[in-house]
Amino acid sequence: MDLIFRSVRIDDAQPLVDVAVRAGKIAEIAQHIDTTAEHEVQGHGKVLVAGFVEGHLHLEKAYVMQRKANRSGTLKEAIAVTAELKPTLTREDIRERSIQVLRALVQAGTTHVRAHAEFDPAQGFTGLEVVLELREQFREVIDIQVVAFPQEGILKLPGMQAMMTQAMEMGADVVGGIPYNDESPLEHIDFVFDLAKRYGKDIDLHQDFADDAEHMTIEYVARRTIAEGYQGRVCVGHLTSLAAVSPARQAQVIALLREAGISVMCLPATDLHLGARGDSHNVRRTLTPVRALRDGGVTVCLATNNIRNAFTPYGTGDLLHIAQMAIPACHLGGADDQATVLSMLTTNPAKALGLKHYGLAVGNDADLVMMDCRAVADVILDLPTRLMVLKRGRVVATAEHRRSVAF
């Protein structure tokens, strides 16, 4: 064996176990493993979990909030501010800030990330090119799925349809879209599906990001998914409009999402900040209905979206911070609800991203995080130090946490 974790907690209902790693894979899990390893870690009852999966993030526009502020706090101004900044972002600038984000992710225990890399005629492919390069450079540290993301729309920009095709030729992993920011949302959706089918790629849409449901198109997306046989291959982020419909319609949409196998990324850091800016009183939460989606059988995930820019002027890249924000905001604080939160950072986004060989089981990749806590249930509550992070069996991050108290 290459490495053995001794006496770690992987299930609160089960005894402590040893977990062995060989050739980048989880080779054995047992109460006691008789063999020895080149490197042994004494867990002393600490928690071992599968690596976190960041399902929706923008690398190339992180850490730019000080360059131009979004003073109204609205989505409209966030898009305008970012559009103004993008032509000024150099390759080296994008690279430096993106690596800063990746470093934070890995230190926080994230082993996979889906990055939405945007491009348009004004800025060209600089951001996408950098993210594609980083995917290769850091593939031994973190797996990066790259989404070809048309932030400024497709149909309304001359040449953008060709750029979307070129992005797929350049090696993007997923076809992105943003129907609500184009002149014809339905034609936008059709273009995305046609392009994805042509290249055999999955789809990830910024979908129905609004306080109301007046222009909601998720039902069209779901029906197109079913018609194309794309069940399980479509993700949507935001989907805040779904919280604005009647309970009866919401139940119908959720049933349709389940049938289509569409995964939903709740993005609380962004959506709480930008949403309901026009409400003068009884201000809405403007979050997708996480509990209803979960209870309706939809794969629902928690993700970061942006870090310190016009869309989200704060953030650390730590998914546990996102979880702690979502617990009160999405009414996930009850004991039964809390038990479902960790999966929204791990197995659910792994399923949404179509990850293979993921999870804490023999034969899977050894993408693991040892936590400085002693109960799996406490991972989302304690914000524990990530003592050790493994990527395919290789230690990629470590941390120490020393405590001292007078009593």
Domains of the chain in sequence order: 3-51+359-398 (2.30.40.10), 52-352 (3.20.20.140)
At 122, the pLDDT band (50, 70, 90 cuts) reads confident
Tell me what pLDDT residue 403 has: 84
Task: Give the separation between CA 405 and CA 67, rounded to whole angstroms.
Answer: 41
pLDDT tens for 206-215 read 999 999 999 9
Tokens of 35: 């063999």
At 166, which helix (H) or strand (E)? helix 160-170
Task: Considering only CA atoms, give the Rg of the chain.
Answer: 21
Sequence-separated (6 or more) residues with CB below 8 Å from residue 251: 292, 296
- 0.95 exceeded by pTM: yes
pLDDT tens for 151-170 read 999 999 999 999 999 999 99
pLDDT tens for 323-378 read 999 999 999 999 999 999 999 999 999 999 999 999 999 999 999 999 999 999 99
Task: Give the separation between CA 317 and CA 160, rounded to whole angstroms.
Answer: 30
Task: Give the separation between CA 178 and CA 164, rounded to whole angstroms.
Answer: 13
- Three-class SS state of 264: strand
